[in-house]
A and B are shown apart, each in its own frame.
Chain A
Amino acid sequence: MSNFVMNRTKFWARKSREDKIFDVLNLFLLSGLMLVVLYPLYFVVIASISNPDYVYNGEVWLWPKEITFEGYQRIFQDGRIWTGYKNTIVYTVVGTFVNVALTLMAAYALSRKDLAGRNFFMFMFLFTMFFSGGLIPTYLVVKNLGLVNTMWALILPKAVAVWNLIVAKTFFQSTIPDELLESAQMDGCSNTKFFFKIVLPLSKPIVAVMVLFYAVTHWNSFFDALIYLNDEELYPLQLVLRSILIQNEASASMLGDVESFAAQQRIADLIKYGVIIVAAVPLLILYPFIQKYFVKGAMIGSIKG
């Protein structure tokens, strides 16, 4: 038996023929899957810095051809991109702050077993996951509150996400021991003080997870802006992207000097690839550093549905 334990690695490595075939197939399938996911992303990068004529004719596959930054120059000439960026940053920062503050405070309160009525409140929140008034009544509420055409229309209607509330509550329940609360209360510590002085410093991972989840949601959201904002000066980046990428409205300031229609089409495509990169850059830069928090968040969410 001790021999068996010592040779564990060898034991795992011992394979039948069937297992060898499985391993080869598995490696093949997963590598294929990875390429399917990776290649489009990679292609966008090389297409955004290649001569658009080559991209158009299908001559760009693995490496960029005739590297050019013309697309990016045209993108940054356009005022809309900058306004969109600025607006999105403001909405993301303010919105995330509201989200995280509300979610963590509520989740902590709900995680406390001595809170009378916690099941009732939990049910009240959960119910909204499965039944809602729908688009029109919600729109009418936001409109009657006078939020239309203000940044608050993008922030208040999404102040708390039920799923994140559950994740945070689960985290508090599993990491803050009851004994800690008891001893703090013996020392005369109030609930507020306990939350801010003891719980929050112990909960940095969940704070990070919540900030990231909410920030990504704000960064990526466009539909609320589409519904609630009419003023172009308030448009977030995603709405600007929509008009360039999907409605094909690369503005005059981007294409003005290009003469033939065909050339305009190619430059417009070049701009599209570039715009995808420009929109994704903040996340692309941060992704390697923050990835572990995302995974952590997804996993906490999975512990208890």
Chain B
Amino acid sequence: METKVKTLPWRRTRTKSEPKVKRSSKKKIWQNYELYLFLLPTIIYFIIFHYIPMYGILIAFQDYMPTQGVWGSPWVGFEHFIRFFNSFQFWNLLENTLELSFLQLLFGFPLPIIVALLLNQLRNQKYKKFVQTVIYAPHFISVVVLVGMVYVFFSPNGLINNFIMIFGGDPIYFMSEASWFKPLYISSGLWQETGWAAIIYLAALAGVSPEVHEAAIMDGASKMQRIRHVDIPAIMPTAMILLVLSVGNLMNIGFEKAYLMQTPLNVSAGEIIPTYVYKVGLQSAQYSFAAAVGLFNAVINFILLWAVNRAAKKLSGSGLW
């Protein structure tokens, strides 16, 4: 019986010492044709909605005309890119996009780690559960509602200004001052996502065996010392992967939120490349130009991802690939 099982074609688990059973891959595929049918709709989906658009990037090098299609439209080379680099908005857009992304990363990356480390030290389990439940609830609020809340709380007669006035300050017109766009954008993001992001680290911390902590206590380690020498090393791999992932999306962050938070008066600080693409591309139908701007954004993003992954691998040995 044992030996027979070993030669069955679908059996894949084998110990290292076992010789690899050579099977013709044709037979293997035929055996599992149903699995390919399971996969088929998803493959079709990715081809249509992800890979065909990648091919559609070609229009960034053309003067795309909807009636002519991707191959019929005239080619213009890098004209749209050059026009974008020379436009008066270019540096402002690039600066806003990078600044918002890096600020978001600067605060949004360490804060969940700190919160998870602190939560992990709470001995009262019931209170810990309660705090957790409360702080990750905002994750489920929609962007529209979140931004709506920002508008009502920071309006001239909103909660925040009422508070300022109690202490004798003058009301601040938060939503119409460009200098307030970035702080509001970042802090509302922290409010919404910190608790949720901490869950992953809490899971990693739960994996640390209590014996390690006990041994550390025996050696006289204080709580701060245990956080530094036991907990932080335990979550480093998770942190690295998440860091690389978030850098991978650096240039695509919070497009919807930035768009919703823009008012005519703060748009100089709030216009980022993705919102600009939406405006020139869809609102004024300059498809090719907007596609070029979008491609520029995607390329920068990809370079950043590649660089950070390399750095993470050099520093900690773990990266995405």
Contact = CB atoms under 8 A, between A and B. Distances in A.
B162 A58 contact: yes
A289 interface: no
A55 B31 CA distance: 68
A102 interface: yes
B144 to A, nearest CB: 5
A56 interface: yes
B223 A19 contact: yes
B224 interface: yes
B302 A131 contact: yes
A130 B32 contact: no
A156 to B, nearest CB: 7
A209 B95 CA distance: 39
Contacts of B297: 134
A238 B34 contact: no
B67 to A, nearest CB: 12
Interface in A170-203: 178, 181-182, 185, 190-192, 195
B281 A191 contact: no
A287 interface: yes
Interface stretch (B42-50, B84-92, B178-186): B42-50
Contacts of A102: 41-42, 45
A238 B144 contact: yes
Given A11-B214, A26-B118, A27-B122, A134 B57 contact: yes
B209 to A, nearest CB: 14
B272 interface: no
Given A140-B287, A222-B256, A280-B145, A105 B38 contact: yes
B278 interface: yes
A12 interface: yes
A246 B203 contact: no
9 contacts: A29-B118, A44-B149, A58-B159, A102-B45, A128-B51, A134-B297, A160-B46, A227-B278, A298-B196
Given A141-B48, A141-B53, 11 more contacts: A103-B42, A115-B39, A125-B42, A133-B52, A133-B54, A178-B13, A185-B8, A195-B38, A216-B140, A222-B142, A279-B142
Interface of B: 5, 8, 10-13, 25, 28-29, 31-32, 34-36, 38-39, 41-43, 45-46, 48-57, 59, 66, 115, 118-119, 121-123, 130-131, 133-138, 140-145, 147-149, 151-153, 155, 157, 159, 162-163, 165-166, 191, 194-196, 199-200, 203-204, 214, 217, 222-224, 238, 241-242, 245, 248, 255-256, 259-260, 274, 277-278, 281-282, 287, 290-291, 294-295, 297-298, 301-302, 305, 320
